[in-house]
């Protein structure tokens, strides 16, 4: 049985609240879970102490027994010093899309054409 430490959504519409749970990887997001390990309230300020609540002892127990935290939960665990998360780098993500690059090239071409026309008019 593959176990995941992941988020289960609660709260009402547009007021999210998440429980950090350990569950079978095949069970649905808000479905059956084995144990509740903490909570995350994204509506609170980032510096609020109650924004992320973790039961570090139980999380370590489940990780030792083979549970894999999801990426978002691993971020929380790294902040709390419970687990290590390797730094990621995706420089391609910051680049503009194909259409935006085409528009930028067109704009640069128009500016270059206008500058060339201006120098040509000044030469006459």
Indicate the domain borders of the chain.
Answer: 3-80, 91-123
- Spell out where 1-73 has E strands: 3-12, 15-24, 35-40, 52-54, 68-69
pLDDT at 89: 83
Between CA 60 and CA 65 the distance in angstroms is 9
pLDDT at 79: 87
pLDDT at 53: 92
CB 18 within 8 A of CB 39: yes
Q: Is 88 helix (H, G, I), strand (E, B) or coil?
A: coil
Q: What is the pLDDT along the chain (124 residues), one digit of tens a residue?
A: 689 999 999 999 999 999 999 999 999 888 889 999 999 999 999 898 899 999 999 999 999 999 999 999 999 999 888 888 887 788 888 888 899 999 999 999 999 999 888 888 777 6
pTM over 0.85: no
CATH code of domain 3-80: 3.30.1320.10
Between CA 25 and CA 4 the distance in angstroms is 6
Between CA 42 and CA 39 the distance in angstroms is 10
Between CA 66 and CA 62 the distance in angstroms is 6
Helices (H) and strands (E) in the chain, counts: 3, 5
């Amino acid at each position: 049985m593959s176990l995941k430490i992941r988020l289960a959504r609660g709260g009402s519409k547009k007021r999210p609240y998440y429980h950090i749970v350990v569950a079978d990887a095949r069970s649905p997001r808000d479905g059956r879970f084995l144990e509740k390990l903490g909570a995350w309230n994204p509506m609170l300020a980032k510096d609020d102490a109650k924004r992320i609540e973790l039961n570090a002892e139980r999380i370590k127990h489940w990780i030792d027994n083979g549970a894999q935290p999801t990426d978002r939960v691993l971020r929380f665990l790294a902040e709390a010093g419970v687990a290590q998360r390797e730094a990621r780098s995706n420089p391609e993500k910051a680049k503009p899309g194909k259409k935006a690059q085409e528009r930028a090239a067109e704009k640069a071409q128009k500016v270059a054409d206008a500058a060339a026309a201006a120098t040509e008019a000044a030469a006459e």
